[in-house]
Structure 1
Amino acid sequence: MSNRSCDFLPVRKSLNGVWSNMVKVMSRTVVSGILLRRFFKGKVGNGNNISFWIDPWLLNIPLMIVCPNLFRLDSDKRCKVSDRLKLTEDGIMRVWEWKRSMSVIEYGSEWDVLNSLLNAAVLSEAEDSWVWIGIGNGVFSVSAVRNQLYLDMDFSNLFVFEWCKWIPKKCNIFGWRAEMGRIRTALALRRRNIPIADVSCVLCGSADESVDHLFTGCILATRLWQHISSWCKIQNIFAFSFKDLLDVQKFVGLSGRAREIFYGIIIIGCWCIWKARNLFKFQRKKARLEDIIGEVKVLGFLWAKNRAKLSSLTWDSWCKFVIM
């Protein structure tokens, strides 16, 4: 066994980064009592790219959970489906490589279960693929995950926008309106029967320009949040909606003044993205990530020093996010 985690989402435990953080989110997020990662299932074609034991393919859970003793007995725990099942003219032939002779007494029940499941296995010449088995049509998307998460949420209490005291009113009002979907994105204007020929995001062009896409799905916004995560020394920010962005300050491990400042930085970041969007749309000024990052830091420093009663704050400590 290597030092990778024994899971169908491969990641080395010793390494950090975006993929590592995504795997952690997938491994810890629970929807209706089920881990989010269990909503993915392998669809076997030739079996060359799906792990026989570790990946979920016959069931919605991996075979190593169904038959743990047989899994431990296999000499190659990361073997592929094609290593154990061979497509021949006479059908599917099963090939086993056990560490030692298998005892019917010790493994009999698991052996019967495994063979019963394998009777339903089908191989073909097609490539393996993955399917999303949650809400939707079997195709994975951010909106499908969001809808799945919303199933488990309690909407008995209405969301109340939290006012940030150290940033200007215009930024707070902008955040409040954005949370309600009341800013003039292209999709919002079309819904108001205003003729908009193209509603795609002007910053990336990869999706319709909605509030959630502009501030969480757009590649420019994603890269901004990655930079802010590094700057503020927290785990990478992952958000599916504007509400998620407003709530992220509760889960990043900051407290006291640092948490209050971080919350303001999130709203300032959204404010600067909106400004960059408007400059491009109405003045054709290209949006550059470096300019947005610079504006967030400069405005944040100016307002924090003069409005948050941090008169001793220096530019150097601000850039290192040292909040006293």
Structure 2
Amino acid sequence: MTLKELGGVGVGSLKDANLAMLAKWWWRFKTNPESSWRKVIWSIHHSERSSNPIPGKMTIAGPWKQVIKVSRDTEKYGINLSDCFWADLRVGESVSFWKERWIEGETLQSRYPGLFELERSKNAMVANRVKVINSAVVLNFCWVRLPATTEEVEAVQNMTEDLLAAARGYSEDQWRWEHDESGTFSVKSLKNSLQNARFSNLGNDFVWNNWNPTKVNFLAWRISLDRVPTLIALAHRDVITGQIRCKFYDQQEEDADHLFVNCEVARYLWNFVSHWCKVASIYAFRAKDLLDWHKHV
């Protein structure tokens, strides 16, 4: 399942593909504010007490519950799905002031959790809190109580500086996806990010050759990782318990290097191949040497 860039076969994970396709509904929810299905979801799942960037009541059964749970699965691999979306802010009528990214860095909810607790309307949009009147930025907060402690007052001052520094225009808000250079969400980009987070580099510099049939490429890839079911490999897995010496050359045990390079039969075959291709004789000490041999012809 590991990506080819990490030395794998590049088949892909069905679980990662499923998570990426479910996450696409997050993108659709953000980029289609006027669609009928979004309004239905909002009316059913919206809650002022919820801190989720996407509304969702887990007590309500249905497919939308699975969409909400995607973020939990991606966080297991170090990907915070909420932070992967950010708003290229203009008017701010469709962007949550506290819960969504629209200024540099993290959300205001994460940056100023104390002020978020004082907020009366936690689902307020940017346009409700930041207004531009006669080219001047006017901030309009709605607190449960006024910030009183030194920490709260200092947090208000810092947040005010952040808000005044945020550039705003007068066109429609645009959403951007962090894992793709185009800024547009794609299932492939999230699936690749999940696989890069899940799988470590196999340390295999094998290069897939498009000229070869798939079965030849796959066999060569298995040889590069020493995953060929030779007699020694089968014995290590307790598949066989008998003779592990080469059937053609009884003096040596059958591992990948012997089977493909060192056996007298293998040497004869490679000599025949080099003569048939009209190239210099093929000499190799290990099976992996054969995989790079074509680069030097």
TM-score using structure 2 length? 0.48
Comparing both chains, which one has the higher relative contact order based on Cα–Cα distances under 8 Å and sequence gaps of 6 or more? 2
Larger radius of gyration, structure 1 or 2? 2
TM-score using structure 1 length? 0.45
